[in-house]
Amino acid sequence: MLKKIIIKIFGRKLISFIRFKPFLVHGKYRQIIQDLEKFSKVNESNGEADPYKSLILVRKYGHFLDKGLHRKDVKKGHSKDVVLTLKKNILIAEKSYPDNEAILWAKDKLKIYDDLQLDGVISPLKEERENESQIEFDDLFLLMRNRRSIRLFQNKIVEDTIIEKISATVNWASSSCNKQPINLYATTNPEIAKLCIRCCKGGTGFGDFIPAFICFTGDMRGYVHPKEAYGPSIDVSLGAQNFLLAAETVGLGSTALSWAFKDDIEDQQLRKLLSIPETSQIIFNVVIGYPAKYAITPARKSLNHTIKICN
């Protein structure tokens, strides 16, 4: 009705010339729109002089260059714009992170690229694996099938070193353009963990003892285009699956908690408890500890409801 009134007053022709048109949405979409606006503001306020943003972009543009150097048809003259952007971000990033592994890796790719420009030919890059995994499919699949969401834990502290050990797995998951945006904010203090879980609407059904709490976030500074707004959710989730499976191998159980229904107060409370910066988007949270009991395995949908192969 309001739309019709606005058109009646101003006319369709005038409305069509307005670039940013006002629009009405249902209240349930308000939080989603606020999150998208926050995403845009982070990338507007953190310009090219932000060294950590440049470090993420070093991984991104280094990845672009690396892909080209692996191609069979690699030849002189390609990727000039990529190289210029990569060099610019290296100059910014290395002032704060001079020995960072991503910068050293990117510089190595630039050296190969420069050799190509001089000589006109290089052998396409390839890696020979020294250590092949001995894990069989059935072993990996069993690990996946055995993982359950755990809500009742032993009264046993989880050591920081264990959390650090399994956290090393997250950056080995796929991420868009090699940005590796995942950042974990954790506490192994049960009292702080209990406060953290109160920020989560899905944090019910747990016992009194919460051994550890981990917030999975994605650094938004690596996603410079509005269409990438949901990129952090995808990239962080890929890394989180590595983490959850790795936790099983050291005897830990976990439960992932949705963050979809959070409100502004809960968001700010959790950020304060775990010192999470505004540049990191909270994707979801995980409660982790040594299981006191396991849940009965729920049914899983059949394969014919999962995949369709079209040949």
Contact 78, 54 (CB under 8 A): no
**Rounded CA gap, 270 and 257, in Å?**
13
* pTM, 2 dp: 0.86
**pLDDT of 24:** 66
Question: Does domain 138-289 bear CATH number 1.10.287.3510?
Answer: no
Q: Are strands 182-187 and 212-219 parallel, antiparallel or unpaired?
A: antiparallel
Q: What is the pLDDT along the chain (311 residues), one digit of tens a residue?
A: 655 665 566 565 555 555 555 566 676 777 777 777 777 777 665 555 899 999 999 999 999 999 999 988 888 888 899 999 999 999 999 999 999 999 999 999 999 999 999 988 888 888 877 788 889 999 999 999 999 999 999 999 999 999 999 999 999 999 999 999 999 999 999 999 999 999 998 888 898 999 999 999 999 998 888 788 889 999 999 999 999 999 999 999 999 999 988 999 999 999 999 999 999 999 999 999 999 988 888 889 999 999 999 99
CA distances to 61, 157, 222, 277 from 83, in Å: 8, 48, 18, 31
Of 86, 42, 38, nearest to 221 (Cα)?
42
Q: Which residues contact 186 (CB under 8 A, 6 or more apart)?
A: 163, 167, 212, 213, 214, 215, 274
Contact 66, 86 (CB under 8 A): no
**Rounded CA gap, 166 and 239, in Å?**
11
User: How many beta carbons lie within 10 A of that of residue 63, not counting itself?
Assistant: 22
